[in-house]
Structures are given as structure tokens and as C-alpha cells.
Chain A
Amino acid sequence: MARLKYIIIYGLLLCLFVLPVQARLFGAQSFMLENGLQVVVVENHKAPIIKYMIWYKASAVDEKEGKGGTAHLLEHLMFRGTSNVSGEMFDDVLKQNGVESNAFTSLDFTVYYHSLDISKLELVMALEADRMKNLQISPKNFALERDIVYQERKQVVDNNPSAPFSESYRKVLWQEHPYARSVSGTEKEIKSLTLEDVQDFYNGLYSPDNAVLILSGDIDMQTAKSLAQKYYGEIEKRPLAAKAKFPNLKQNIRAKLEMQLPQINTPRLLKTYIAPSLSLNKDEIYNLSVLSKYLGEGETSELYKDLVLEQKKALAVSSSYDYLSRSYGRFQISALPANGVSVQELEQAIDESIKKAIKNLNIDKINNVKDKMLSGLVYLQDNPFDAADTVGIMSAAGMSVNDIEKQAEYIRAVQYQDVKESANKLFLENAALTGFLKPLGEN
């Protein structure tokens, strides 16, 4: 139903109006090699530089039960050499050529990226293509990197006083869903990982047809095509191992998590609704993007005006909506209560404020919000490195370049009734968790 309406509106827009000319957002183009590797190109000729990213659609969610941290440890080991290039040589060659390289692992994706002078692109492509098929993990390097990821977890997760809250929060919210996992793996899991775990993960999932290559910068389509073919064309796709199975979560759950922790000096609140995403109910993602902007993005948003400026119950409140995921999306509201206001009282105020804002939504308000969202689109053409990140996650999550380029049109097409409908569904029907994090001994 929503979809039909959407198509009609979209069609009307196309037929009746000459759309304000938004020639391109990124100017992204795409092609696919025979082995299934998708390549997305964003041209930007400002300087002779490029950002190269390869997004593997394989990560923490695809790990075997009890083997948390496999994808992340593999990410580290990808820098330790192949049968052709030792880890040291890999690093030296990139450094000598001024290439800035790194990688990250999220729940859904494992990503390797380089920023470089365009003249060094073939070098990077040769190295990346090599480690897509020839990774070699020695027991010595495996043991070293397992120690390093253990230290990483201690530094990045466990040294953060709010970490126990975040970790419990994820588990309660996502129940049996693999999004409940920790990307780094727990201490116990990290220690139990074996070389075979990592090797199996690599063999089964680092196949060209399970990856997206992003080239954003001083390059043209023809060069991109010939180089992609030259370096990746020969890599055969491997039989894909079983990927994550995403269970259907029980909806209608309203859970609460309250924690008092040492080292926490001031209370805060985080509320998450499990939401539609690009992969699930993609018809609603633009409605909910507009909703998030309207409710809580920035200091002219409804929740900020009501709760911070008018009622003075919060000192900060904001919302965010993440729909670029392989399974469910998330709609989040976070807030810091004002002095003398309890987190419980603030939660109630937030709920009421949301109801009020949705009730008051009308055509003028929605137009104002959409205008704000669309006013700065030309900035997307500035930084080729930022463009790589954005186009990268959109593509990896499964958005076509056509849809990427049409973001503005899709947002423009959102009507206030659509937003109301999606909002009511989200807030009334979807599973949600409210978390209160408080200082020790504070009620």
C-alpha cells in the first residue's frame, strides 16, 4: 500500500513537474565483473588522489556461535601477508608509496581501504587482489594478532566505563539475533579462536561475488573498468559458505535496562526501536529518515525544542536512524536529563513529546524538514574520501547506484501522511529497549 502510493507520487512528480535540476549527488556509476565483483566508481578530479575501498559483505554476524571476533581477527591477519607478499613487504611497499591504509570491522561488513595518489592505484589493486585469494596465515602471526586484538578489546571496549552497559544493552535489545554479538568477541571467545576458524571464514566468504569495490577520486569509468578486469578479473569466485541467518524478532516487546556503574558521573538515556532497513521494508526508509530529522536531528528539531528549550527536562536530546544494514535497522533516541530530572521522568516526557510532534506534523512542517535535508546536497561533491565512505556503505548494504543518485528525489517524494504512518508503526508495533545508565548509588 505504502509502496503503491509511493510509486504514484513519484510518477506524478516525474510527469507533472520539471524537477529542480539536481544533476547528480555523487555521480556514482557501477559495473560488475564476470566473477560477481561489483565495482562502484565516483569521479572527482579535484586532485590526483583516490580512495580505494573494498567492502566484504561478511563480518561478525556471519561468525559461528561462540566464535565471536573471528571476522575482526581476520581483518588483522589480512595485513600479515600472502603466499606472494609478506606482511612486512605489504606494509613497506604501501608506506614507501605514500599510501594510507587501514581497515575496520562492523557487525555487517569488513572493510579495507586506502587513500593514495592516483599514480599508485595499480599497486594497491595488485596487493588487494592478491590478498583476496592468496592469504597465508602462519601460526606465529596468528598468535601475535590474537594477542593484539585482545589488547585492542581491552583498550577500546573494556577501558570505557560505560562498556558493560553497551554490551548488556545490545544483548537485551537483539535477543537471539546476531546483532547481539560483540564485534571484537568476548575475552573468552578471542582466546578460543583458532587459525582454522579464521582460515575457514576467509575461504568461505572473501569471494569476489561477496564484495563491493569502491573507487572514488581522480579516475574515469574506462580506466576503472580496465584495471578492475586486469587485477580482479582472474579471481574465481569461491563457493560461498553459509552466511548469517537473521531470525525474525518478537515485536511488541518493551524492555528496560537499568545499570549503575562505577566511574559514571551523570545519568543518561538511550532508547532504541528495531526498525525497517534497506534490506527489510525498504519502502519505509525515507519516511523514517525524514522522521528522524524532524524529531531529533539538530537543535531546531522538535524534541530539542520541546524538551531542552521549552520543558527544560533535558540538556541534550537527539535521534538517529540507521537503515544501511544487512538485517534490521535501528531508530535511536538518546538524551541527557537536566539536573533534578530523573531518567524515568525524562523517558515519559520523550514519549509524550514524540506523540505530540507526530500529531502536529503537517505539510508545512514536513516541507521545512525536507528542505533542510536537501539544502546541502552539493557538499557531497566535495570530498572524494567522504564520498567513498557513503557510497561504500550504501552499495554494500545493497543500494543500486541508481537509487543512491536518486536520494534527493526519494526524500522529496515523502509526504507527511507517510511519515505519520511509518512513525505510528515504529513506535507502537516495533520492539524497543530503553536503557538507563546511572552513577553508582543513584536511584
Chain B
Amino acid sequence: MRSRRRSKSSAFFAKILQYLLVLLLVLGGSWYFYKQYISFNAEKILSESILQEKTFVARPVEVISPHYKIKAYLLEEKTAPIISFSFMFKGAGRVSDDKDQQGISGLTAAMLTEGTESLTSQDFKEKLENYAIGISFSAGLDDFTGAMVTTSEHQKQAYALLKDILIHPRFDKEDLNRTKLQLQKSFLLQKEHPQSILNLKFAEYLYKNHPYGRNPLGEWNAVSKLNRQDLLKYMQTHFAQNNLIIGVAGDITPENLENVLDDVFGSLPQSTAIDFVRNPDMDFNMPELNIDFAAGAQNISRFAAKGVSRSDKDFYPLYVANHIFGGSGLSSRLSKAAREDKGLTYSIYTYMSLADKSPLLQGEFSATKDKYAKVKEILRQEWNKFGQQGATEQEVEDAKNYLLASYNLRFASIANLSEILLYMQKEDLGLDFLQNRNNNIKNISTEQVNQVAKKYFKPQGYVSVNIGNFGQNKEK
């Protein structure tokens, strides 16, 4: 009975097995068919695409002017008959403003497009518009930067105007008064939006008395007293050949550029007299600071931890780590956890900031009062988890793929190109940086990423400044 039953049941099982096999084949076949022809198959689309990857290498050259030996990186690019210059006076940014003249670099930047000794402000601006020349200046935190774009057709006029500005700026009294009053308005506007108030308070809290903690507009009392002589002296002491860096892109040959460099920048003094700026003392374990802002519809939190400079050996691994943690938009860990999975915030992100004396890993999020504590807790947990466990192989692979495949997007405009060439020199990346960059990314290992994750994402290792409505718990 038992054996009969067994033989009967074994036949039964054999039958079942047969059915199962057939079913498996059918299922497997349909799965294959589905993957191949119906569902979305990214690899298949890419491998069969009529558009394959193209080799694209931008090879800038170094140009040195014959007479004054002024150096520039140049990328000749002839898609359109236009030329872009990006240049900077290194170290001449807001951080270098005299303590009693805070805002002088910014005021100078605004005043440099207000004419020259031979051209009134209006004449000067008319010329720029008629020749379609763009000239602008900006006082950054560390450096003073300038930019010029011109059509090939009017390049001679463009060089003449730029040269004239740098040697004979007008700094007319009336223009100066007006520009100061405009700046005064900016001081008022700056304290309206909670985001802008937070930016000011954040720098103040993080850097205390170090120049990095200053208001980017300066001090109104100081700005209001500045005169023509002050601005001229600032230029004489801050703009020189030895702190000048230049990047050029567009429709110009190295031979032409050589002469332009001598002509436009040759009259600058040899060297600057910029005071040395010390490194700030940083404390990332300070308690958080809450700023009450009753009118706010959301609380905004800004946070920072120690980062690395561009030349640090940890730069690339941290670049990838940041991308995975909070730098890649909606697919970053922070966005996934707080936004995509829970709907608690519209934006949460991190980025690397590269101030010369204080590179940071920074971030920000905002959320309505009822969700704020939850997002804050998610940030804390994700930060600690990332520091302890690092990233997965897959995450590192995906991040690298993104950074490699998106590389060429930066070559869209020549203004962007000349700026890249400028920063390659500022950061000493070398003339062949553009050719090497992708290898630098490719060579990063998961292990390296996880090492820097551990080193920079320390438990609670960031300081926060927040603005909004915090109810009872005002200051921690």
C-alpha cells in the first residue's frame, strides 16, 4: 500500500515536475521577451543607438605675452565669432578689505563700469551696448574677478575699453554717490528674506571676527565714507601682474592673444600689497543657533562641517561622497530619505564650498514647522549612518558614471570655458587637467570614498544655524 502509493505519487510528482518545467520555460521566455521588447531596456537602447559616444577633448594652450610675460590659458573655439575673457586678482576679494573699509572691493567692482577718464559713465555704457561688449566685475570672498565678452568684430574696441578701465577708471563723484545710495538700498533689501538673513547670520556665527564672517556688502558706515582716492588706492595695492590670472576662450589665436595680454594688462603694477589673511579658527561642535523669524512660513536650516581644498588628496573621494550623500539632486540619500520617501521637504542638499582658508561641506534644508524636527532628525541619522557605514559599491559606481557622463555639459558656453580655464590656474590643476579629469574620477575606489566618509561625516560633526519659528526651544 505504501509502495503502491509511493509509485503512484512519484508518477504524480514527475508529472508535476514536467508541468513545472514547461511553466518555467514559458515564464522565462516571456520574461526574456518582456525585458527585450516590451519593458524599458536602457542598455539595449544605448547599444543600438545611432548616436554613439564621440571623443571630445578640449586642449587648452598656455600663452605667455612677449613683453611682460603675462600668462593665460587659452582654448580656441570657433563655433561663433565671439571671445570670452575671465580674469581675477587673486586674494583681492572681500576678505582683503581693510577692517575700516569693509565693502571697498564691492564698491570698486560696481564703480569700474562707470566710465574712464576720457569717457563719462554714459559714454562708456553707450559704447559697450553699441559694440555688444560685456564687461563686469565682482568682489568674491577671496578674489576679485572680472569678465569680458566681445564679438570678434569689435574685439579691438573691447580691449581698449578694458585697458582704459584698469588704468584710468573715472570714479566720478556723482557716480560714486549714486552707486553708494544704490548699495544702501541693497543693505535694506538684504534683510528682508529669511534666506538672506540666514546667510548673514550663518557666516557671522561660523567665523566670528574673521573676515569670512563679514557681510558681503561690507559695512554701510564704512562704504558711505569711501572716496575716489580710497578706490584708486585699493586698485593700486590689490590689482597687479603677480596676482593676475587669465582664462580665454573663443575665436582668438594664441598669437593674437599674446599681444592683447601685453597691451591690456601690461600697465598694471608688478606686485600687490595685500595683507595676509589668517586661517579662521573653526569649531564645528558649537551648539546650533536658532534665529526667530515670526513671519517665516518655513524653517530653514543651514549646516556645515569641515571640508577639503581643491588640491587636497581627499578632494575627489569627498566629491563622490558628497554626490551620493546630498549632492545629486533627487537621487541623493538625503533627498530620497526626506523628500522622495516621506514628502517632508521640497529641498535638502549638500555641496562642497571651496573658500581658500575654510573649505566646507555645507548643506541646507527647509520645511514647515510641523515637519522641521523630522527632517532634522533624518539629516542627523543619515549623516551618522553615512559616516559609519559609507556608501555601497553600486552607489559609488553610479556616482562615478554620472560624473563621467555629464562631464561634457560644461562646455556649452565659451564664458563658462574661460572661467574653467581661470580656475584651473587658480587651483593649480595643470594645463592638462581637462584631459585628466575623468581619469581622476575613474580611479576613485569605494574604499577611498568610505575612508573620507568616516573622516568628514563625523557623528554630529556639523554646526547648524536655523531661522524660523522654533516655539519654546529657542536656543539649545
State whether the Cβ of A144 lies closer than 8 Å to any Cβ in chain B: yes
Contact A92-B331, Cβ < 8 Å, known A159-B297, A315-B182: yes
Whether the Cβ atoms of B40 and A89 lie closer than 8 Å is yes
A173 and B282 alpha carbons, distance in the complex (Å): 51
The segment from A202-210, A344-352, A371-379, A427-435 that touches chain B is: A371-379
State whether the Cβ of B46 lies closer than 8 Å to any Cβ in chain A: yes
Contacts of A248 in B (CB 8 A): none
Q: Which of B124-154 contact A (CB under 8 A)?
A: 125-126, 129-132, 149, 151
Contact A48-B56, Cβ < 8 Å, known A91-B331, A159-B193, A300-B129: yes
Which residue in B341, B343, B344, B408 is a CB contact (below 8 Å) of A49?
A: B408
State whether the Cβ of A130 lies closer than 8 Å to any Cβ in chain B: yes
Whether the Cβ atoms of B344 and A151 lie closer than 8 Å is yes
Contact A300-B40, Cβ < 8 Å, known A98-B409, A118-B51: no
Interface string of B395-431 (1 = CB under 8 A from A): 0001001111111110111110000000000000000
Whether the Cβ atoms of A381 and B80 lie closer than 8 Å is yes
State whether the Cβ of B49 lies closer than 8 Å to any Cβ in chain A: yes
Whether the Cβ atoms of B40 and A126 lie closer than 8 Å is yes
Whether the Cβ atoms of B126 and A300 lie closer than 8 Å is yes
Which residue in B149, B191, B341 is a CB contact (below 8 Å) of A379?
A: B149
Contacts of B178 in A (CB 8 A): 308-309, 312, 315
Minimum CB–CB distance for A307 against chain B, Å: 12
Residue of B nearest to A147 (CB): B343
Contact A159-B132, Cβ < 8 Å, known A93-B42, A95-B331, A121-B49: no
Interface string of B149-188 (1 = CB under 8 A from A): 1010000000000000000000000000010011011001
A47 and B412 alpha carbons, distance in the complex (Å): 7
State whether the Cβ of B311 lies closer than 8 Å to any Cβ in chain A: no
Contact A117-B398, Cβ < 8 Å, known A46-B79, A100-B406: no
Whether the Cβ atoms of B295 and A161 lie closer than 8 Å is yes
A378 and B153 alpha carbons, distance in the complex (Å): 10
Whether the Cβ atoms of B130 and A371 lie closer than 8 Å is yes
Contacts of A123 in B (CB 8 A): 42, 45-46, 49
**Chain A interface extent, by class:** 35 or more
Residue of A nearest to B113 (CB): A299
State whether the Cβ of B81 lies closer than 8 Å to any Cβ in chain A: yes
A289 and B324 alpha carbons, distance in the complex (Å): 46
Interface centre among A49, A316, A381 (most CB of B within 10 A): A49
State whether the Cβ of A160 lies closer than 8 Å to any Cβ in chain B: yes
Whether the Cβ atoms of B405 and A98 lie closer than 8 Å is yes
State whether the Cβ of B385 lies closer than 8 Å to any Cβ in chain A: no
Whether the Cβ atoms of A154 and B297 lie closer than 8 Å is yes
Contacts of A265 in B (CB 8 A): 188-189, 191-192
State whether the Cβ of B272 lies closer than 8 Å to any Cβ in chain A: no
A305 and B398 alpha carbons, distance in the complex (Å): 55
Residue of B nearest to A293 (CB): B129
State whether the Cβ of B70 lies closer than 8 Å to any Cβ in chain A: no
Interface centre among A95, A227, A263 (most CB of B within 10 A): A95
Binding site for B on A (CB under 8 A): 44-49, 79, 84-85, 89, 91-93, 95-100, 115-123, 126-127, 130, 143-152, 154-156, 158-162, 218-219, 223, 226-227, 262-266, 298-300, 305, 308-309, 312, 315-316, 336, 338-339, 368, 371-372, 375-376, 378-379, 381-386
| Chain A to chain B: the 9 pairs with minimum beta-carbon distance, closest first | A98-B405, A147-B343, A376-B132, A98-B406, A158-B297, A375-B132, A383-B413, A381-B80, A152-B346
